[in-house]
Copies of this chain bind each other. A is one copy, B any other.
Amino acid sequence: MQQKEIFETYESDVRSYCRNFPTVFSSAVGSVVTDVDGNSYIDFFDGAGALNYGHNNPYIKSKVIEYLQGDGIMHWLDMMTVPKAELIETMEERVLKPRGLNYKILFPGPTGTNCIEAALKLARKAKGRSNIWALMGAFHGMTLGAMALTTDRTDRKAAGITLDNCTHIPAPYMFPELDTIKYMQTLLDDDHSGAEKPAALILETVQAEGGIYVLSEEYLRAVREFCDKNDILLIVDDIQVGCARTGRFFSFERAGIVPDIVCLSKSIGGIGLPLALCLVKPEYDVLKPGEHNGTFRGNQLAFVASKASLEFMLDAKVEDGVKEREAVIKEFLEENIVKPYAEKGISIRGIGCMWGIEMNKNAMSKAVQQACFKRGLVLERAGRDDSVVKIMPSLVIPMDTLKKGLEIVKEAVDEVMANA
Contact = CB atoms under 8 A, between A and B. Distances in A.
A3 B80 contact: yes
A114 interface: yes
A175 to B, nearest CB: 6
A19 interface: yes
A352 B152 CA distance: 45
B194 A168 contact: yes
Interface stretch (A22-30, A216-224, A251-259): A22-30
Contact of A301 (B6, B110, B191, B273): B273
A27 B294 contact: no
Contacts of A18: 78-80
A272 interface: yes
Given A12-B280, A26-B81, A289-B19, A274 B110 contact: yes
Interface stretch (A48-56, A317-325, A339-347, A395-403): A48-56
A290 B47 CA distance: 16
Given A186-B174, A273-B299, A76 B25 contact: yes
Interface size class of A (residues with CB under 8 A): 35 or more
Contacts of A168: 193-195
A110 B48 CA distance: 16
A64 interface: yes
A295 interface: yes
Given A113-B114, A287-B158, A175 B174 contact: no
Contacts of A64: 68
A140 B145 CA distance: 15
A262 to B, nearest CB: 13
Interface string A81-95: 110110011001000
A151 to B, nearest CB: 4
6 contacts: A21-B80, A28-B73, A47-B77, A56-B71, A130-B162, A269-B296
Contacts of A271: 74-75
A294 B111 contact: yes
Nearest to A64: B68
A330 interface: no
A78 B114 contact: no
Interface in A176-212: 177-178, 183, 186, 190-196, 199, 209-211
A160 B130 contact: yes
Most chain B CB neighbours (cut-off 10 Å) among A22, A29, A294:
A294
A104 B12 CA distance: 6
A68 B68 CA distance: 10
A25 B154 contact: no
Given A74-B272, A158-B287, A239-B295, 14 more contacts: A3-B82, A6-B92, A10-B92, A11-B106, A13-B287, A27-B70, A33-B76, A61-B68, A111-B294, A112-B295, A130-B161, A151-B192, A156-B196, A273-B301
Contact of A294 (B113, B177, B383): B113
A14 interface: yes
A71 B125 contact: no
A178 B175 CA distance: 8
A196 B68 CA distance: 45
A113 B109 contact: yes
A420 interface: no
A410 interface: no
Contact of A143 (B136, B144, B164, B170): B144
